[in-house]
Structure 1
Amino acid sequence: MKQSVTFKNRMLTLAGELFLPDDFEASKTYPAIVVAHPEGAVKEQVPATYAEKLAPHGFVVLTFDGAYMGESEGEPHFTTDPFQRVEDIRAAVDYLTTLDYVDNGKISGLGICAGGAYMIDAAKTEKRFKAVSAVVPVNMGAGMRESQPNKESLVATLTAAAKQRTAEVNGAEVQLMETVAADDEAAMQFPEHSLFREARSYYRGVKENSRSTGQIVFSGFDKLLRYDAYDMMSEMWSHPLLVFTGSLADTRPFAEQAIQLAGDLAEDLVVVEGATHVDLYYKDQFVDPVVEQIADFFSKHLSE
C-alpha cells in the first residue's frame, strides 16, 4: 500500500510517498526507513524500487523528492545543494515522528548513490537513526573535485559559476548542466560498466520520468565543489553501517572509504559480484538479495 504525503523542510514543502506493510493497521506501531534518492533522480525511480521491496518486511518506508527536485518546492528547480539535501533527510525524520503508527525509536536510514553519501552525512549528527545503510554511495563533492585536473581548473569553474549567479540575479536565464549523456553515442564514450555510461539507459529508458531531467543548475556548483559528505565522519560516527557496492562499480572507492571511516561500527562492505553501479538501481537479481540483507540488518538493530 502506498500513499502520497507532503511535509515541511523549513519554508519548503517536500513531496513524498509512504509505503506501508501489507498487513498495515493504523492502531499498531511499525519501524520506519527514510530513503534518499540519487542526485538528479526522483522518488519514483530507485527509491520506489527499494521501498516496494522493503515494506513487506514490516517497515513503513518514506521516499521523497529532495528540495528543488521532482514534485517538491524550491526554485530554481534542479538546484543541487548538498547541505539542503542533508536537511531534507532530517525533515523526513521529523515527519515520521509525527505519525502515530511509527515507532520513533525504530527509524533507520537508507540512501542510494549520492543519496547514500547524503544519508551518511546526515547520520553523522542525526542521532534518531538506529542504523544506516548505503547502496553504491557517491560522495558528490569529492567526485566533482576529482574531475577537475588541477587547482586552476577548479578555480575557473567556481569563477564561471559565480559569474553565472550574478547574471541570473540580474535577469538572465538559469543555466542548466547535463548530467546524463545526451545520446547513446555520447554515453558510449565513457568506459564500460561506468556510472555515466549506464546512467543513460536507466534515466532515459528503464525508469524515465518527466521530472527527472538529468540537469543541475550550474550556478550552484559553488556549494557542490566545496562539499564533502565524509568530512569529520570518523569523529562523529555512532551508527551501525552496512554498505553495498558492485564488483564492477566504478564508484566502489566511495563505499570502501565510508566503511573505513565508520571504524568498529562498520557492519560490512558487501561487494555484489557481477554488478555495476547502475545494476544495483533496479535489476532484481542484484537488488533482491541486497534488500533482504538491509531488512535483516535494520531488524537486528531495532532492539538496541
Structure 2
Amino acid sequence: MRLEQQPASATSSIRIRPTTVGMGEIADPSQYSLPANPANLLRADPARRAAVSFRGDGVTLAGHLYRPPTVAVGEPTPGVVMCGPISSVKEQTLPHYAERFSAAGYTVLTFDPRNFGESEGAPRFRYDPNQVIADYSCAVSYLITRSDIDPENVAAVGVCMGGGYAVSLGARDKRLKAVVSIAGGYDIGGTFQQFLGVEGFAAYLRQVNDLVQRQYETGEIAYIPTIAEALTDRVPVAVMPNPEAFSYYDRTGRDEAPNWSRTLTADSLESYFGYNSVIHAPLVAPTPLQIIHGTTDTALLPEHAQRVYDAAQGAKELVWLDTHNHIELYDQDPYVSAAAGHALRWLDRYLGAESPVQEQDLRL
C-alpha cells in the first residue's frame, strides 16, 4: 500500500492508493474467490445492543442501538446511522462495525429496511434503493430525537449498498456532519453490464422484465433467489450470482440471521439496476466524504469507488485496503478492523467523540 499526501486544501486530503501491481492483479479475479478463514471470522456480541423501533414512512422500522459502554445512561454522544448490503438484515455485517464505533464513544443505530427482517412493510422482500434511502433518512430523524444523542453531531456510515446509500443520503440530508462509505455499491447497472457485456446484461434484464410482466398479468408476486453460486439453466436469474456472496449469506443466514430472506421480488432488480450514486457524489459537499474500498474487490469494482471520489467536492478521502475479495470487509479481520479504524479517524475529525481509539485497539 502506498500513501500519498496531497496538498492541504478544502478539496483534498490523504489518499491511500494501491500499488500498480495490486491494481494489475484485479485482471485475474479467480485468485480472489477465497473461502473465509474461520480463524478470521468475527462474531457479534448480542449483549452489546438493545432493540429499538422507530417510524418510517408509514411503517415501523426495527433497529438495534449500540451505546458506548463507558458513558452514563442518558449522556449525549455523537451518533452514527448505519446501513448494510442489499437484502441484509441488522444482524449481518453491521454489528462488527457498530461494536467498534460504540467502543470509541459513538451511539450507533442499525436497522432492517422496510419489508425485511423485523421491520414492517409489504410486499415482503421487495427491495427499492430509493425507499431504503428514505428509511435511512428516517433513522437519522429518529436518532436526532433521542435525548442521549448530540443532534449536531450525527454521521452516516454504510457498507456495500449501504455505502452507496450513504453517499446518496449525504447529497440530500445536510443534518449529517460526515459520511463514510465502505466497500460501496455505486453504479449497479454499469457494474453488471461490465460483467455480462451489453448484450448479456440486456438479456439478463429481459428475463427480469418478463417475470415482472407475468406478475402484472397474474397479480401474483414473482420471486427470485437472493443468492446463487452461479447462473444456470435451473437458476437463470439471481440477485447475487457468485460463490463469494453465496458463501457469506448461506453461512450467516443459517448461523446469525435466521430472518434473512433467500428470495427477493423480481421487480426489486429493476430498481436495483437503475441505482447510481456517482451522480450524487458532487452534492455531498460541504459534508466531508470518506470512501474506503478494497483494491481487489471483484463484486463492486474499485473503479467505481474512484469515480465517486473524483466526482465529490469539498473535504474528501479515498482509502484503499489490500483485500482479496469483497466480503472480507463484511465480517473478517484484519480487514474490518482496518476499515473501522480509518472510519473512526474520519468521524473523530468531524464529530469528535470523547474517547477515540487507535486502530490496534479495534480487534474486539
TM-score (norm 2): 0.73
Select the structure of larger CA radius of gyration. Answer: 2
Alignment of 1:22-61 (within 5 A): 22-61=69-108
Distance of 1:281 and 1:30 partners within structure 2: 26
Distance 1:264 1:238, change over 3 A: closer
Q: Please tell me whether residue 99 in structure 1 is matched to residue 149 in structure 2.
A: no
What per-residue deviation string (whole Å, max 9, x for no partner) do you get for residues 114-148 of structure 1?
Answer: 11101111110111111111110012344355556
Provide the rounded CA distance (Å) in 1 between the counterparts of 2:265 and 2:192: 14
State the one-letter code of the partner of 1:118: Y
- The reply on whether 1:122 has 2:169 as its aligned counterpart is yes
Identity of aligned residues (%): 25
Name which structure has the greater RCO, CA cutoff 8 Å, separation 6+. Answer: 2
Quick check: 1:180–1:214 contact (8 Å CA) kept in 2?
yes
1:180 Cα deviation (Å)? 1.4
Unaligned runs of 5+ in 2: 1-47, 233-239, 353-364
Task: Name the counterpart of 2:334.
Answer: 285
Query: 2:281 pairs with 233, 245, 264, which one?
Result: 233
Which residue number corresponds to residue 66 of structure 1? 113
- CA deviation map 1:168-197 (0-9, x unaligned): 5x3x2x2211231258x98xxxxxxx9932
CA drift of 1:26 comes to 2.9
Counterpart in 1 of 2:248?
202
CA distance in 2: counterparts of 1:249 and 1:195, whole angstroms: 15
Q: 1:145 to 1:91 in 2, by over 3 A?
A: farther
CA offsets 1:247-300 (integer angstroms, 9 cap, x no match): 221222222122111134322x21111342100111121111221221121011
SS state of the match for residue 198, structure 2?
coil
Residues in 1 aligned to 2:324 and 2:202: alpha-carbon distance in whole angstroms: 36
Does structure 2 retain, via aligned residues, the 8 Å contact 1:195–1:277?
no
TM-score by length of 1: 0.87
Inter-partner Cα distance in structure 2 for 1:130 and 1:233: 15
Q: Provide the secondary structure at the position in 2 that maps to 1:129.
A: coil
Q: Residues 235 and 284 of structure 1: is their aligned pair in 2 closer, same or farther, counting only changes over 3 Å?
A: closer
For 2:339 and 2:333, locate their aligned partners in 1 and report how far apart those are by CA, in whole Å: 9
**Which piece of structure 1 moves more, 285-294 or 78-87?**
285-294
Using the TM superposition, give the Cα deviation of residue 99 of structure 1 relative to its aligned residue in structure 2, in angstroms: 0.4
Using the alignment, how far apart are the partners of 2:57 and 2:101 within structure 1?
29
**Could you list the runs of 5+ residues in structure 1 that have no partner in the other structure?**
187-193
Aligned to 1:191: none
Structure 1 segments (4+ residues) deviating >4 Å: 144-148
Alignment check: 8 A CA contact 2:88 2:260 kept: yes
The structural deviation recorded for 1:36 is: 0.3
2:75 match: secondary structure: coil
Residue 238 of structure 1 deviates from its aligned partner by 2.6
Q: Does 1:13 align with 2:60?
A: yes
Q: Label 1:182 to 1:167 Cα distance change in 2 as closer, same or farther (>3 A).
A: farther
1:131–1:239 Cα contact (<8 Å) kept: yes
Moved more, 80-89 or 208-217: 208-217
1:258 equivalent among 268, 292, 308: 308
The structural deviation recorded for 1:228 is 1.9
215-224 vs 106-115, greater mean Cα deviation: 215-224
Partner of 2:361: none
Output the CA distance in 1 between the equivalents of 2:159 and 2:305: 11
Give the distance between the partners of 1:141 and 1:63, measured in 2 at CA.
Answer: 26
- Contact 2:90 2:112 (C-alpha < 8 Å) held by counterparts: yes
Counterpart of 1:249 in structure 2 is: 297
For 2:138 and 2:322, locate their aligned partners in 1 and report how far apart those are by CA, in whole Å: 35
Tell whether 2:180 aligns with 1:136.
no
Count of residue pairs brought into register by the alignment: 291
Q: Please tell me the root mean square deviation across aligned C-alpha atoms, in Å.
A: 2.5
Q: Which residue identity does 1:286 align to in structure 2? A: Y
Identify if the C-alpha distance between structure 1 residues 32 and 99 changes in structure 2 by more than 3 Å, giving closer, same or farther: same
Are the structure 2 counterparts of residues 33 and 23 from structure 1 closer, same or farther at C-alpha, using a change threshold of 3 Å? same
